[in-house]
Structure 1
Amino acid sequence: MAAAATLLTAASLAVAPPAAAEDSFSGQCEYPNATYPGRPWYLQRVQLDELWSESRGKGVRVAVIDTGVDVKNPQLKNAVDVKSGRNFLPKGLKDENGDPIDRGNENGTTDTVGHGTKVAGIIAARPAAGTGFVGLAPEATIIPIQQNDAEGHGDTDTLTNSINYAAQAGADVINISQDTAGAVEPDPKLEAAVKEALAQEIVVVASAGNDGLGGNTKKTYPASYEGVLAVAASDRNNERASFSQSGDFVDVAAPGVDIISTVPQGGHCADNGTSFSAPYVAGLAALIKAEHPTWSRRQIVAQIEQTAERTIAGHDRLVGWGVVDPVRALTEDDRPIESPRPDEGLTSAEAPAAAKLPLGETADERNARLATYVAVGAAVLVAGLGGTAVAIRDARRRPRTAGVRRNHTAM
C-alpha cells in the first residue's frame, strides 16, 4: 500500500499589503483578536440584501474538513453542529521533543491554528453587532471535522476518513481548503472517497493551491479530481491572485486576498490564499442548495460556473469559468443546467439600429402629400422669381444722386 501523502493547508502568503482599514487585522494574528468594524471589501461587492432575499442557506449542512472550528467565537457559536463534529487526528501524537500533543476536542471544536475557524466564518458566520463581517450563507450549518494541525499531522488517511464521515453525517457541501505537498497524487483511496461523496450528490469544493507565483501549473489534489469544484483566488481587480495555482483543472475563482474572517476565541483577522476562496464558493453552493433543494450537485456546480464573471467565452486556465457572482447565481436561475455554456453570459456591444419614422399613412396618402410638396414648392419658386424681377426693375428706375452719403439726413 502506498504511503499516505502529507497534506498542506493552503495557508497565508506574503502578498500585496491590505488597505489601511485592515492594517490592524493583517500580519500576525492573536487569539482572540479585535473585532473588525467595517464590511470587508469582498462583501461590499455583493448586494447582500438582494442575495439573502433569495436564500440564506437555511437547512444546508456544510462540512469543514480542516484544523477544527472554534465555537468560542460568538459569530460561530450558533453556526456549528457540535454534536456532529469529529476529530480524525491520530492519537498519541508527540512534538519534536517527544512531548504529547493535545489533539483537542473529539468533536472538532478545537483550533489552535485558526485556519478552520476562518474557513467556517466565511461560509456561515452569523451577523453580529459591531462588525460588518458575516458569512455568505448565514443560516447554513457547519459540521466541524478536524484532521490537520499546526504540525501538519494530517495526511491522505485522515482526509479520506474525514470525507467518508462527512457523507455519513449528512453533509450537502464539503469544503477542503488543503492539498497534498508537492502536488503529489495521493493514494487511490482518497479519490475513491471523493467519488463516493459525489455519488451521494454532495458538492465537493477544494482550494486550487498557492504555488502559482512561478507559473506552476501542476495539478493539486483533491482539487484535480473529476467532479470536484476547484477554486482559484482572485484579487480586488477580479484577476487571478499572483500566488493562485493555475491550470486546466481550475473551475472558478473567488476572492482570496485580504480576506477578513473569524478567529478562535473571538474577533477577526485578515489572511490570503485559495484556502479562503474555496469557502466563499462553498457558501454560495449552500445558498443555491437551499433555494433549489432538488437540484443535483452537477446542476449546482454548473450554475456557479455559468454565472461567474468572465471576459472570454469558455474556460480559462487562470480563473476557470470566471470569478463567481453570488447575486447572478441566485437570480439568473430560471432553470437548471448540466454544464456551463461557453457563449452565454457574455455581453457584447451591438451597432444601433436606424430609427424608424412612423408616418401613419397609406401609399396613396403619401403620394398625395408628395404631390402637394411639389406644387407648393413650384408656387414658392414662381413668387420668388417674380419678386426678383420687380426689384431689378425698381432699381433701374431710381435716380442717381452724387455726393450723398447713406443714412445722411437732408436739410
Structure 2
Amino acid sequence: MSRSPARPLLAALTTALLTAVPAGPAVADHPAEPTPGPVPAGRSASASTFVRAAPGCASPLAPVRPVSAPPWPQQRYAPERLTPLATGAGVTVAVIDSGVDRRHPQLAGRVLDGTDLLDPGGDGSRDCAGHGTGVASIIAAAPRDGVAFRGLAPGTRILPVRVSEQQVVEGRESGRTVSAEDFARAVRWAVDHDADVLNLSVVLYADDPAVRAAIGYAVDRDVVVVAAAGNLHDAGDPRPYPAAYDGVLGVGAIGADGARAQFSQTGPYVDLVAPGSDVLMAAPGQGHHRAEGTSYAAPFVAATAALLRQYRPELTAAQVTQRIVATADPAPGAGRGGGYGAGVLNPYRAVTETGGGAPERARQVAALADDRADPGLVAQRARRATAQDRALLVAGVSGAVVALAALLALVVPGGARRRWKPADPA
C-alpha cells in the first residue's frame, strides 16, 4: 500500500502506513489521506485468535491466526543464545506509540506507568490500535510455555508514551494523533523519566523544529534513539523524520529471504535493516498477530540497544549506536544506497564482538540554543580530551625511544670496528 506521489507528502505530517487491520485489497489498493501528526509506520498482514479491545476503545481489533511455530525473526536471531549474556534487565525502553497494553500475559510486569498525550490522565497502557503493544512485545515479551513467540530483550522495562490511536479502515486513516509539538513533548518526557533507549516507530514527513530539538535533547543526554525509516518507497522515498535526524538510528525492513521489503524506504537515513515483513507480535489483551512495516523493524534494533546497555554499561549511547551499525551482517547493496544501510542487524555480534569501526553515518545533533549542555556530557568530553593528550604524549616518547635505539644499533657496531671503548668510570 502506498500513497500517490502527487499527494503533498512533504508539506504535511503524514503516516507511513498503519497496522491493526488485515491488509486486504481495500487497504492495499486505495491510498490513505494525509493526516497531520506523527503516526505509526507499520502495515498489518494477517493473524490468529480474536483480540479483545483495550479498555475504553470504540471497537475490538481484527481477528488473528493461531501461532503454530517460532516466527522467522526468532529463528534468525535465536534469542535464547543471548539470554545467558543479557536480557535487557535494568534498561528502560520508551515506546512512543499508540500505547502498550500491559494486560497481555507476555508483557505482565514489564510495562511501567507512562503517560498519555491523547487523553490526559492516562498512563499509556490503553492501546486502541494494537501498534504500540506489538512493538513493545518484539522488544520485551516474556517466554511462556506453549507459546512460540518471545521478545529479543525480555528483561527490558517498557515506558509507554501514547501519542496516536490511528488505524487504516477501508484504505483510509482513522483515529486521532497528537501534533508535532506534542510529539516533541513526548520525546522530552521519556528522556526526563529515565529512558535509556527511545523506540520511535512513527514517521513525520516534515522537518519540525520542535521535534528536531527534542531529538537533540535525547542524544545530548546519552539516550539511544531508534526510528523507523518509513514505508513509502513506491511514493518516491519522502524524507522521514525522526529517522533522518542526526544521531538517530534509522531502520529499514527486510523479509525472511533477507531482501529489502518492497515498501521499505531507501536513502541516507537508513543506517541498517531488520525484520519487517510477516513479523509476529503480541496483540492487545491476548493472542498474537502478524504485520509488516519498518515500524516492526525498529524494535529489533531498540531491543539490541537494550541488551548492549545492560551487557556493556560503560558504553555511551553513541558507542552503542556505533557498535550496532559496525556489527551488521553484509547485505546486497549495503552501503551503496540500496536501502540496507550498513547491512542487516545482528544482535549476537553486537553484544559479543569487542571491535567495530565508526559507523558510515556518524553524526551529532545540536539542540537549539536554549538547551544547555549536560554537565555529565561536558565532563565526559573533557575526560576523552585528556586521555587523547596522554595517548599522544606516550606515542611521542615511545617514538623517541625507538629512534634512539635505531641510532645506537648503527653507531655502536661501527665504534667497535674502530676500537672505541667507553670512558673509564674510574
Q: What TM-score does the superposition give when structure 2 sets the normalisation length? A: 0.68
Per the alignment, residue 69 of structure 1 pairs with: 100
Measure the CA separation in 1 of the matches of 2:198 and 2:86. 19
Matched, 1:88 2:117: yes
Matched, 1:225 2:232: no
Map 1:12-411 → 2, pairs under 5 A: 12=19, 14=23, 26=46, 30-32=50-52, 36-82=67-113, 85-89=114-118, 106-150=122-166, 151-180=175-204, 183-186=205-208, 188-214=209-235, 216-311=236-331, 315-317=335-337, 318-332=339-353, 334-335=354-355, 337-339=357-359
Measure the CA separation in 2 of the matches of 1:79 and 1:265. 14
Which is worse superposed, 296-305 or 265-274?
A: 296-305
Measure the CA separation in 2 of the matches of 1:158 and 1:239. 36
Residue 337 of structure 1 and its aligned partner are, at CA, apart by: 4.9
Task: Give the share of equivalent positions with the same residue, in percent.
Answer: 36
Measure the CA separation in 2 of the matches of 1:118 and 1:63. 14
Contact persistence 2:156–2:306 (CA under 8 A): yes
Describe the shift of the 1:5–1:141 C-alpha distance in structure 2 as closer, same or farther (beyond 3 A). Answer: farther
Superposed CA deviations along residues 38-61 of structure 1, whole A, max 9, x for unmatched, are: 211111112323222221111100
Residue 154 of structure 1 and its aligned partner are, at CA, apart by: 2.2
2:221 partner amino acid = Q
Contact persistence 1:248–1:316 (CA under 8 A): no
2:300 partner amino acid = Y
Report the 3-state secondary structure (helix = DSSP H, G, I; strand = E; otherwise coil) of the residue aligned with 1:8: coil
Measure the CA separation in 1 of the matches of 2:350 and 2:230. 24
Per the alignment, residue 387 of structure 1 pairs with: none
Measure the CA separation in 1 of the matches of 2:212 and 2:119. 21
Per the alignment, residue 8 of structure 2 pairs with: none
Residue 239 of structure 1 and its aligned partner are, at CA, apart by: 1.4
1:206 partner amino acid = A
Contact persistence 2:281–2:289 (CA under 8 A): yes
User: Structure 2: 5+ residue runs without aligned partners?
Assistant: 1-10, 26-44, 53-63, 167-174, 363-426
Select the residue among 11, 15, 18 that pairs with 1:8: 15
Aligned residues: 312
Whichever of the two has the greater Rg, that structure is 1
2:86 partner amino acid = S
Residue 8 of structure 1 and its aligned partner are, at CA, apart by: 2.5
Describe the shift of the 1:178–1:313 C-alpha distance in structure 2 as closer, same or farther (beyond 3 A). Answer: closer
2:335 partner amino acid = H
Contact persistence 1:5–1:155 (CA under 8 A): no
Residue 184 of structure 1 and its aligned partner are, at CA, apart by: 2.2
Report the 3-state secondary structure (helix = DSSP H, G, I; strand = E; otherwise coil) of the residue aligned with 1:121: helix
Residue 9 of structure 1 and its aligned partner are, at CA, apart by: 5.9
Measure the CA separation in 2 of the matches of 1:50 and 1:236. 20
Report the 3-state secondary structure (helix = DSSP H, G, I; strand = E; otherwise coil) of the residue aligned with 1:275: helix
How large is the Cα RMSD of the aligned pairs?
2.6
Describe the shift of the 1:226–1:15 C-alpha distance in structure 2 as closer, same or farther (beyond 3 A). Answer: farther
1:67 partner amino acid = S
Superposed CA deviations along residues 354-377 of structure 1, whole A, max 9, x for unmatched, are: xxxxxxxxxxxxxxxxxxxxxxxx
Residue 338 of structure 1 and its aligned partner are, at CA, apart by: 4.5
Measure the CA separation in 1 of the matches of 2:361 and 2:13. 37
2:70 partner amino acid = R
Superposed CA deviations along residues 239-297 of structure 1, whole A, max 9, x for unmatched, are: 11000011111101000000000011101000000000001110111111111111011
Report the 3-state secondary structure (helix = DSSP H, G, I; strand = E; otherwise coil) of the residue aligned with 1:277: helix
Report the 3-state secondary structure (helix = DSSP H, G, I; strand = E; otherwise coil) of the residue aligned with 2:94: strand
Measure the CA separation in 1 of the matches of 2:351 and 2:93. 18
Describe the shift of the 1:295–1:213 C-alpha distance in structure 2 as closer, same or farther (beyond 3 A). Answer: same
Which is worse superposed, 168-177 or 49-58?
A: 49-58
Measure the CA separation in 2 of the matches of 1:48 and 1:171. 23
Contact persistence 1:35–1:130 (CA under 8 A): no
Report the 3-state secondary structure (helix = DSSP H, G, I; strand = E; otherwise coil) of the residue aligned with 2:218: helix
Contact persistence 2:117–2:182 (CA under 8 A): yes
Describe the shift of the 1:268–1:5 C-alpha distance in structure 2 as closer, same or farther (beyond 3 A). Answer: same
Measure the CA separation in 2 of the matches of 1:313 and 1:226. 23
Measure the CA separation in 2 of the matches of 1:261 and 1:60. 21
User: Structure 1: 5+ residue runs without aligned partners?
Assistant: 17-24, 92-104, 343-411
Report the 3-state secondary structure (helix = DSSP H, G, I; strand = E; otherwise coil) of the residue aligned with 1:26: strand
Describe the shift of the 1:314–1:113 C-alpha distance in structure 2 as closer, same or farther (beyond 3 A). Answer: closer
Q: What TM-score does the superposition give when structure 1 sets the normalisation length? A: 0.71
